Chains A and B, each alone.
Chain A
């Protein structure tokens, strides 16, 4: 279904959403406005809650690959929903663009946030260990480690933000919040108590006596290490026995029941320290501030995206902050490219071809035709990716881009025949395009890719024209990839773009898509040659194997 479930009424932009919460003696603090989220200035508005499922067009535009690359290795943050939820107002886009500018322009700030994230991950690992452990005392040990990590991490982040001087509203609000939080009773008492519990446990020492079935534990001082002495004495007898190895039981990292009983005795001998630990663990169970946890997750949206940009930057590929408008449909991009494809090409150390486009009044539709393998589909995807990523508030591929903030984005790409729905392919396509046209508005964007291939040319031309008429009537932005040259000059709102080949060598493709009238030339035969699938080649190939078979 090429529908975007986020089609809800856009929330009103709020410039001053909440009265700033100013703590006494802090009136001059410029960061005093309330902090909610690094992703949005307003407190959660219903229309902006996260979308859990990828929009229908994601795979058509290869956005699934882009988001897959960006979020790879960050599964713990569940970032995908953030990428499934485009923004609805220009104001919201600017809020994020400013945070991006801060992080990409201020290296120390970026490093600060990265190291914050790293420490928070360590903290969560410790908490997970604490969860997993079977015995209570082992759980408590990991928990104490986690809280120590948390206190340090929050303090370091606050100090760092005070010294790096961020410019975005998002980071300034965060800084204000952290100054208030680290000075609060909630945080200072947590920190003090953690240090105290740790110090008392460090003083505990005990002895262990095991005899036949009996184990004895006592308060004592230790002597020299006897086990090392024994090991040294018998080292020369050591050898391996492969047969007995067959039955070796691996040692568990989990405490066994004997160890656990010993520890119980130790804690009985040092009851005050352990009683304090018990109370501590109980009291601070929910120590992590909700806004810190939220920031930890949401800032990864930026970090992950910037990491991908870093790769593109290394390959000398340009990107920029797009101008975004919700009323002007004049759009343009210079030297832009398909980010999903670029990721693959960079990996394979190949060049990425850049393309440009623009639409001026009254133009609405780019009709892309020309030879196969010329980059037509890639071009159409690029158009969709640019608009979608801009609507997330992200920098986009290219230079000097002006893009339209759409209400809904639709794609109409060929789908594989599905035996389950028992419909013919053509019927399926018509039903999908009909659904799109019924749901689209003047502010939507539609990208169609080679529709109606499963019928004759006459039929395809007839159907495409009927659809084009309806698109033109809606006045929406549209990119159409087609083999039908006739569509390129449909009316004054259509602009013809043509994929090109090298004129001296038709098999050499440039992947350049340029603005010019459709010329009706395609180079399929040259491609057949490339795959050795001409009549002569096929005969020789199958024939050669026939003689092999006969000989053997």
Chain B
């Protein structure tokens, strides 16, 4: 029994297909905020969200497959949540069945397995019922497959046969078994028979009789072990449990198999439940979202309306500013402008939206069109390396080196103030060489930079495939957090901030001429 809600033809495996640069992507794009919102306080959903978002799908078809399933979930959130609750219920209730004790003896393992199977069969029946009631409403290929499979595999006659076994396995009439005599004359090859015979209670009688004739009185101090003391009498149970060991193990394996089906269901559906959680949070703030339009990877499109940083909005009470960007046939996007103008935010918005699109989610924008990419890489400015192996520029270059080692054509690279750790002239030169080479290798690049020399250089080349965005700053110095198309300008208005924070007029307001 397969779930197949994440892929048309195979299981979704957590932590499979996670790129090596995942940790950096998480850190640079502040993805943990997104994961937490998707999880809604559930650690398991957090892991699912993390696994799904990071393991990007690499082609349009598989994205569209998930988008369809997601559309069903968005249309019938209650049914999706019921189904998910069923899987969670199965796993949680199963785990509460005195599991810690089960491995101590075959007897307890057997009892545990019978109980677990009884529980799981009940839940499979509920799953069948859900399928019977609702399957006709669902449109996606994924759900049609899933409900069809449930109806077919969990027929009434099959469920009844399982229940009959469970009754016999309780051994109400006792355990009957046979055994060979081993080389040391001890019993071996114990075989269990399903003869249902009334327990005789002979053992207790014999024990009592032997006790009476051998007990002798002496001057010491003594005590009796309570006949209900299971630990004290466990040795007497050894023979019986030897006989049921094999059937206990087989039964335990069966219950594990059913359990793993529910685990797969929880895992795959968990992704969509996470999407619903996020949808609820965004809807509560009246932030827009849309099902994105993934385009063929050669298209080099980045066109969107009202795109915003989903992590930022999740951290603030107010709605955040959205941006419209129109990039057709643009391989390079250069973002410049005032400090605190929303540049990094926009860069993160793009990165997060691309990742969300490529795992089949909706995206935080009113409209989003972008070509599918083969991977997303980030190179953001970092705090000093704690291991001190290198200076800052060295550290930046070392990370870039690792990126170049892995990046392939048709990937996206997000650069946030990269190479600003050396002076502007040198930083620009290093960046220029890398950017030029990667563009020629069909890597799409989005670059936030203060380096006027660099940004202006690209602008003066009149590159057709470059798009220039600039943080808007009004005459009086206020930032709108809106980014508009615009060519790079020379200053970043650090003086504004200085005056406000130091609350004193600096002695010279004239920037020193270079």
Given contacts A377-B384, A426-B497, A455-B339, contact A419 B33 (CB under 8 A): yes
User: A528: which B residues are within 8 A, CB to CB?
Assistant: 397, 430, 433
The closest CB in chain A to the CB of B385 belongs to: A377
A218 contacts which of B103, B218, B390, B391 (Cβ < 8 Å)?
B218
B434 contacts which of A265, A430, A533 (Cβ < 8 Å)?
A533
Q: In the complex, A525 Cα to B430 Cα: how many Å?
A: 7
Given contacts A265-B221, A456-B424, contact A213 B340 (CB under 8 A): no
Q: In the complex, A425 Cα to B382 Cα: how many Å?
A: 11
In angstroms, how far is the closest chain B Cβ from the Cβ of A230? 16
A427 at the binding interface (Cβ < 8 Å) = yes
B433 contacts which of A374, A469, A538 (Cβ < 8 Å)?
A538
Contact flags B447-477 to A (C-beta < 8 A → 1, else 0): 0001110000000000000000000000000
Contact flags B125-139 to A (C-beta < 8 A → 1, else 0): 000000000000000
Given contacts A340-B388, A372-B422, A449-B384, contact A459 B502 (CB under 8 A): no
B181 at the binding interface (Cβ < 8 Å) = no
A261 at the binding interface (Cβ < 8 Å) = yes
A212 contacts which of B207, B340, B401, B452 (Cβ < 8 Å)?
B207
User: B452: which A residues are within 8 A, CB to CB?
Assistant: 456
The closest CB in chain B to the CB of A236 belongs to: B184
Q: In the complex, A372 Cα to B408 Cα: how many Å?
A: 30
Q: Tell me which of B106, B311, B423, B508 has the highest count of chain A C-beta atoms within 10 A of its own C-beta.
A: B423
A237 at the binding interface (Cβ < 8 Å) = yes
B498 at the binding interface (Cβ < 8 Å) = yes
Partner-binding segment picked from A23-31, A240-248, A286-294, A488-496? A240-248
In angstroms, how far is the closest chain B Cβ from the Cβ of A543? 6
Given contacts A214-B215, A423-B340, contact A62 B501 (CB under 8 A): no
Contact flags B158-182 to A (C-beta < 8 A → 1, else 0): 0000000000000000000000000
The closest CB in chain B to the CB of A415 belongs to: B383
| A344 and B340 within 8 A (CB) | no
The closest CB in chain B to the CB of A256 belongs to: B231
Q: In the complex, A378 Cα to B401 Cα: how many Å?
A: 24
In angstroms, how far is the closest chain A Cβ from the Cβ of B451? 8
Partner-binding segment picked from A107-115, A386-394, A402-410, A460-468? A460-468
In angstroms, how far is the closest chain B Cβ from the Cβ of A297? 29
User: B315: which A residues are within 8 A, CB to CB?
Assistant: 419-420, 422
| B184 and A524 within 8 A (CB) | no
User: A258: which B residues are within 8 A, CB to CB?
Assistant: 225, 232
| A543 and B441 within 8 A (CB) | yes
User: A461: which B residues are within 8 A, CB to CB?
Assistant: 511-512
| B106 and A522 within 8 A (CB) | no
User: B215: which A residues are within 8 A, CB to CB?
Assistant: 211-212, 214
A535 at the binding interface (Cβ < 8 Å) = yes
| B404 and A456 within 8 A (CB) | no
| B430 and A533 within 8 A (CB) | yes
User: A434: which B residues are within 8 A, CB to CB?
Assistant: 501-502
Q: In the complex, A152 Cα to B242 Cα: how many Å?
A: 54
User: A376: which B residues are within 8 A, CB to CB?
Assistant: 391
User: A452: which B residues are within 8 A, CB to CB?
Assistant: 494
A416 contacts which of B227, B382, B434 (Cβ < 8 Å)?
B382
| A249 and B220 within 8 A (CB) | no
Contact flags B190-232 to A (C-beta < 8 A → 1, else 0): 0000000000000000010011001100111111111100011
Contact flags B399-422 to A (C-beta < 8 A → 1, else 0): 011001101110000000100111
Contact flags A443-480 to B (C-beta < 8 A → 1, else 0): 00000011011111111111101100100000000000
A59 at the binding interface (Cβ < 8 Å) = yes
Q: In the complex, A459 Cα to B218 Cα: how many Å?
A: 100
A226 at the binding interface (Cβ < 8 Å) = no
| A533 and B384 within 8 A (CB) | no
In angstroms, how far is the closest chain B Cβ from the Cβ of A295? 35
A383 at the binding interface (Cβ < 8 Å) = no
B450 contacts which of A216, A265, A417, A455 (Cβ < 8 Å)?
A455
B393 contacts which of A59, A372, A543 (Cβ < 8 Å)?
A372
Q: In the complex, A268 Cα to B220 Cα: how many Å?
A: 11
Q: Which of B235-262 contact A (CB under 8 A)?
A: 241-242, 245
In angstroms, how far is the closest chain B Cβ from the Cβ of A470? 9
User: A244: which B residues are within 8 A, CB to CB?
Assistant: 242, 245
User: A165: which B residues are within 8 A, CB to CB?
Assistant: none
A217 at the binding interface (Cβ < 8 Å) = yes
In angstroms, how far is the closest chain A Cβ from the Cβ of B502? 6
A168 at the binding interface (Cβ < 8 Å) = no
| A531 and B436 within 8 A (CB) | no
The closest CB in chain B to the CB of A262 belongs to: B223
B514 at the binding interface (Cβ < 8 Å) = yes
| A378 and B388 within 8 A (CB) | yes
A534 at the binding interface (Cβ < 8 Å) = yes
User: B392: which A residues are within 8 A, CB to CB?
Assistant: 372, 377, 414, 450
User: A269: which B residues are within 8 A, CB to CB?
Assistant: 221
A167 at the binding interface (Cβ < 8 Å) = no
Given contacts A483-B423, A527-B397, contact A535 B490 (CB under 8 A): no
The closest CB in chain A to the CB of B503 belongs to: A434
User: A415: which B residues are within 8 A, CB to CB?
Assistant: 383
B495 at the binding interface (Cβ < 8 Å) = yes
The closest CB in chain A to the CB of B314 belongs to: A419
Q: In the complex, A414 Cα to B386 Cα: how many Å?
A: 12
| A422 and B316 within 8 A (CB) | yes
Q: In the complex, A550 Cα to B498 Cα: how many Å?
A: 54
A525 contacts which of B33, B104, B429 (Cβ < 8 Å)?
B429
| B492 and A455 within 8 A (CB) | yes
| A426 and B494 within 8 A (CB) | yes
A282 at the binding interface (Cβ < 8 Å) = no
Q: In the complex, A534 Cα to B438 Cα: how many Å?
A: 11
Given contacts A214-B222, A237-B184, A542-B409, contact A430 B433 (CB under 8 A): no
User: B421: which A residues are within 8 A, CB to CB?
Assistant: 372, 450, 453
User: B106: which A residues are within 8 A, CB to CB?
Assistant: 247
A46 at the binding interface (Cβ < 8 Å) = no
In angstroms, how far is the closest chain B Cβ from the Cβ of A471? 13
In angstroms, how far is the closest chain A Cβ from the Cβ of B284? 20
| B401 and A414 within 8 A (CB) | no
A209 at the binding interface (Cβ < 8 Å) = yes
Given contacts A213-B224, A430-B498, A531-B400, contact A522 B394 (CB under 8 A): no
A203 at the binding interface (Cβ < 8 Å) = no
| B221 and A430 within 8 A (CB) | no
Given contacts A376-B391, A461-B512, contact A218 B401 (CB under 8 A): no
In angstroms, how far is the closest chain A Cβ from the Cβ of B52? 22
Q: In the complex, A216 Cα to B222 Cα: how many Å?
A: 4
Identify the A interface with B (CB < 8 A): 59-60, 62, 65, 207, 209, 211-218, 237, 243-244, 246-247, 249, 256, 258, 261, 265, 268-269, 338, 340-341, 344, 372-374, 376-378, 413-417, 419-420, 422-427, 430-431, 434, 449-450, 452-463, 465-466, 469, 483, 486, 522, 524-525, 527-528, 530-539, 541-543, 545-546, 549
A/B interface sample: 16 pairs, CB < 8 A: A62-B386, A213-B225, A373-B394, A378-B388, A416-B383, A419-B312, A427-B339, A427-B497, A456-B450, A458-B512, A459-B494, A527-B394, A535-B437, A538-B434, A542-B408, A542-B409
Identify the B interface with A (CB < 8 A): 30, 33, 103-106, 109, 184, 207, 210-211, 214-215, 218-227, 231-232, 241-242, 245, 311-312, 315-316, 339-340, 344, 380-384, 386-388, 390-394, 397-398, 400-401, 404-405, 407-409, 417, 420-424, 426-427, 429-430, 433-434, 436-438, 440-441, 443, 450-452, 490-495, 497-498, 501-502, 506-508, 511-512, 514
Beyond the given A213-B224, A414-B384, A462-B494, please list 13 additional residue pairs across the A-B interface where CB-CB is below 8 A. A65-B386, A372-B394, A373-B393, A373-B394, A431-B501, A456-B492, A459-B492, A469-B507, A533-B401, A533-B433, A537-B437, A542-B407, A546-B441
What are the nearest 9 A-B pairs in CB distance?
A218-B220, A459-B494, A424-B340, A538-B437, A216-B222, A535-B433, A524-B426, A213-B225, A265-B221
